[in-house]
Amino acid sequence: MPDLPRLVCASANPDKVAEMALVLEGIVELLPRPPGLAEVVEDADDLEGNARLKAVAVCAAGGAPAISDDTGLEVDALAGAPGVHSARYAGAEASYADNVEKLLFELERVGAATAEDRTARFRTVVMVVWPDGSELSAQGTVEGAIAEYPKGAGGFGYDSIFVPTEGDGRSFGEMGDEKHVISHRGRALRALAEALGAAATGPRRA
């Protein structure tokens, strides 16, 4: 059996790392982020830019290929917010609960009362950067709606209020690991795994 590609995980979020490890099990050997590495300032204008910032920084620090992701929740009634600012929607030190509370408040403020008014999507960009500067990226998206209140104790971030269209009415927070089958991050990681397989038989694209 050939050796699995070894990638250093750029994320400092243990919840994201756990999801990535689960989806990529048997496909990629995920190595831990270098200890003592400072947080990367995520000040790009889009998800791809932030993913690149993190992967480049961790690749440079460890001298090895690094994998990163950035995810945004885009709510139509809020003109696509929180989007690229999803992790910091309620402030730089906001907790998951703080962000959820702010999002629900903003939807109430604009009068988004029905499921049709509360459509949204999760979008993830996953990227690998190699020490020679080449990179490979993939995206995953899932459509859904924002629930009126949190449902379920599983997942993290906005999972408790995101109800995927392709599901059975449960929020991601109620699905547990089932969500990876249809989730934005699961889709992005599987697409990346396919791209890595293709890259192994041809030149990587920079």
Q: Where exactly are the structural domains of the chain?
A: 6-199
Q: Which two tokens stand for residue 18?
A: 């756990």
Please report, in tens digits, the pLDDT of each residue of the chain (206 residues total).
Answer: 467 888 999 988 888 888 888 888 888 889 988 888 888 888 899 999 999 999 999 999 989 999 999 999 999 999 999 999 999 999 989 999 999 999 999 999 999 999 899 999 999 999 999 999 999 999 999 999 999 999 999 999 999 999 999 999 999 999 988 999 999 999 999 999 888 876 554 444 43
Q: What share of the chain is helix, strand, coil (3-state, %, to 5)?
A: 40, 20, 40
Whose CA is closest to 57, among 34, 30, 85, 31? 34
Write down the pLDDT at residue 205: 42
Q: Is 41 exposed, middle or buried (0-12, 13-18, 19+ CB in 10 A)?
A: exposed
Q: Where are the beta strands (DSSP E) in the chain?
A: 6-9, 29-31, 66-75, 82-83, 119-129, 135-146, 162-164
Q: Is 171 exposed, middle or buried (0-12, 13-18, 19+ CB in 10 A)?
A: buried
CATH topology of domain 6-199: Maf protein (3.90.950)
Q: What is the pTM of this model?
A: 0.89
- Positions annotated as catalytic residues are 70
Strands 119-129 and 66-75: antiparallel
